Structure 1
């Protein structure tokens, strides 16, 4: 006779955490430690998030004096909470006018799609403001990325990326001049480079290597984007390739961390 399988003890019931309000601005767990002690500014931040949900997008926050009295905290504590929400892009401060509830962040897909298509898919109007169009001598690192020799010329295109006329990113693109000698003859710099390469020059994008990291903007970059140099920025570096594995472009994009995030879908390796 075969032995009876051992009887496994029943698992103890796990506590159920109530779901938070349906708001993309809230964490799934508020992050309150077991001892329950949190900085006053954090508690104020949570109350402000609730107030922002009630007020809605573009609404003006009540004056600091009123909020500090209502929350029974010092105005310095309130300002600390507000400053954190401004840095996260959930509030926007306008000098002389007050602090407003910010619109939701734009979500840029990590994909081989043009910036124009991405912004339009979010219901906004894309735009570009040209900063620099020039021939640029490739240094060794750039030359290696583009599969050319150091000292070869590239076409450098630098543009401020706009969404509904608001600056949200700064893009620098480098193209091998030998491969694209007529690019400046067919390209309108304020329009989509991706579309020009595909439709006018017959380029096929097959794949890309891309990295994302957080940085602070240099003073010039912050000035071009009209943002505070202390705000976090998202930096992407991408090299795109054609179906034969030949590099097409090297792109550096600096995005305002308070106005944009990235999204992608991950699939299991096969």
Structure 2
């Protein structure tokens, strides 16, 4: 019996997902659990499990008192790779970018951050925690760490007025040569979920970025949590 339920649940996830990808548009209202139960001839428990899975995967989202909607996972997806500037990426998509600085502080580096920033353990570093929004909708939570000696005159106010990478170039003559990036899937914890305004345990894409200047020195180390319903990792392979 459990095997049958699992089979029905898996089939329903695949069926609704295919419908979303081929027939529905972003922000379309989906039928209620009761209606889906009648349409597909399965129990409401099976429907509820399938919808939870689709929400975790980022295909749907819920609005309290209004219902369940198709997410924008296949529309205006923001590519996490190849774009250093969140601001530029949002503008290119016709969205209005906004940054809220949640924390700006000078702290001592532990072993982990000293190794990744190329500084001595216990050295000062600047910690910047930022919430990135597009059209006032939370998209990404970023925690950036910068070597204090290189950017000691940086202030929270300047970051509110100007993108970080523009500040690097214009104010400190730091030209970005390249960035190493690592991505992995995860589930959002309760604290980050509250900032991103998504349910705890929702799917997320986590990004680790290490940015180098022209002298191959690390000038930024950033840990980001991005909403899986708004971002997709894309790689283009070319044959040499």
Sort the TM-score into its range (normalised by shorter chain).
Answer: 0.7 to 0.9
Provide closer, same or farther for how the CA distance between residues 93 and 113 of structure 1 changes in structure 2, counting only shifts above 3 A. Answer: same
How far did 1:44 drift?
Answer: 2.4
The structure number with the bigger radius of gyration is: 1
Instruction: State whether residues 183 and 208 of structure 2, in contact with CA within 8 Å, keep that contact through their aligned partners in structure 1.
Output: yes
Q: Could you tell me which of 148, 153, 156 is aligned with 2:127?
A: 156
Hey, what's the Cα distance between the residues in 2 that align with 1:241 and 1:152? 19
2:220 aligns to what? Answer: 249
CA RMSD of aligned residues (A): 2.2
2:59 aligns to what? Answer: 90
Instruction: State whether residues 186 and 200 of structure 1, in contact with CA within 8 Å, keep that contact through their aligned partners in structure 2.
Output: no
Q: Could you tell me which of 12, 29, 36 is aligned with 1:60?
A: 29
Q: Deviations over 1:88-134 (max 9, x none)?
A: 11111122221111123523241252111122222222211110011
Hey, what's the Cα distance between the residues in 1 that align with 2:31 and 2:164? 44
Provide closer, same or farther for how the CA distance between residues 267 and 190 of structure 1 changes in structure 2, counting only shifts above 3 A. Answer: farther
TM-score of the superposition, structure 1-length normalised?
Answer: 0.78
Work out the number of aligned pairs and report it.
Answer: 232
Q: Secondary structure at the match of 1:188?
A: helix
Runs of 4+ in 1 over 3 A off after TM superposition: 49-55, 266-269
Hey, what's the Cα distance between the residues in 2 that align with 1:66 and 1:220? 34
Higher helix proportion (structure 1 or 2): 2
1:218 aligns to what? Answer: 189
Provide closer, same or farther for how the CA distance between residues 70 and 261 of structure 1 changes in structure 2, counting only shifts above 3 A. Answer: same
1:126 aligns with 2:97: yes
How far did 1:190 drift?
Answer: 5.9
Which is worse superposed, 179-188 or 158-167? 179-188
User: Which runs of 5 or more structure 1 residues have no equivalent in the other structure?
Assistant: 1-37
| Structure ranking higher on relative contact order (CA contacts 8 Å, 6+ apart) | 2
Q: Secondary structure at the match of 1:62?
A: coil
User: Which runs of 5 or more structure 2 residues have no equivalent in the other structure?
Assistant: 1-5
